[in-house]
Amino acid sequence: MTDPTDHPDDNQALAGELALRVLSPAEETAARAREASDPAFAAEVTAWNERLAGFVADVAPVTPSPAVWPRLEAATAPAANDNDRLVFWRRWAVGSTGLLAASVAALMLMVARPDPAPVVPDVPEGGVTRVATLTLEGGVTAMTIAYDSVTGELYLAPTDKMAGDTRVPHLWLVKPDGGVQLVGAIDGSAASRHSLQGTLSGVAGQATAVAVSMEQPGHTPDAAHPDGPVVAQGAMQQL
């Protein structure tokens, strides 16, 4: 590592790296020693800590799900070339201090709030255990579904193939005995999430397939059979 005392910008970058805890053990030991002996450098480290702390001061502590840590470890694994990593962080610290701090704050918010509304069905806390692709007549994909049997969360990601229909799509679970169970009305044009509870969660865990029927606006069919035509269906696959 080059001597950062010759470059004020490198001083700021090194202080940022120390605050962010991205240094190697040897580099961090050296930086901590310098922090104790160099008041100017110590002030830079303090400034970084204060900037970062300000972003998360209002975030209530929440225990993240077990799935979060492996993702963070994979995302922050050390680069093969430590020099490249050092150059990368220094450039961001010097040229984009505010952006870097905001990025770190966003990462902390993701850990504190690991359950955002999904755009695609790949973010359940317990882990996707069952998936299905529903197709219309002709094999056109209408929707992708992911179910997390641990949390009971059902994630729906429709395409635009059902958009514009004046009827209301309703989602059904197909039981192993061939019977069906109504989940309810869904949005056929936007991603959504449904929390399945009790009996419905148990049915979802055993369902062999899913289907969508088109019902008239304002009408709710019996939970055991659709009244409108079934327009899309797909087999549930166990992961």
**231 and 142 in a common domain:** yes
CA-to-CA dists, residue 159 to 4, 73, 205, 210, angstroms: 53, 33, 24, 16
**94 and 35 in a common domain:** yes
**191 and 92 in a common domain:** no
Q: Which of 116, 147, 150, 151 is CA-nearest to residue 134?
A: 147
Q: Determine, yes or no, domain membership for 118.
A: no
Q: In this structure, which amino acid lies at residue 81?
A: N
Q: Which of 69, 86, 112 is the last residue before a domain boundary? A: 112
Residue 227, pLDDT score: 95
**80 and 144 in a common domain:** no
**164 and 78 in a common domain:** no
**152 and 103 in a common domain:** no
Residue 57, pLDDT score: 56
Q: Which of 77, 112, 147 is the last residue before a domain boundary? A: 112
Residue 121, pLDDT score: 43
Residue 111, pLDDT score: 45
Residue 179, pLDDT score: 92
Predicted TM-score (pTM) above 0.75? no
**99 and 65 in a common domain:** yes
Determine the structural domain holding residue 225 and report its residue range: 130-238
Angle (CA) 84-85-86 rounded to 5° is: 90
**219 and 145 in a common domain:** yes
Cβ neighbours, 10 Å, residue 76: 11
Residue 116, pLDDT score: 47
**200 and 102 in a common domain:** no
Q: Domain total for the chain? A: 2
- Please report, in tens digits, the pLDDT of each residue of the chain (239 residues total): 445 445 555 777 788 788 777 778 888 889 889 989 999 888 888 887 776 665 555 555 656 556 656 665 665 555 444 554 444 444 434 444 444 444 444 444 444 444 444 444 444 445 567 888 999 988 899 988 889 888 888 988 888 888 889 999 999 999 999 899 999 999 988 888 899 988 888 899 899 999 999 999 999 999 999 999 999 999 998 87
Q: Determine, yes or no, domain membership for 122.
A: no
**146 and 102 in a common domain:** no
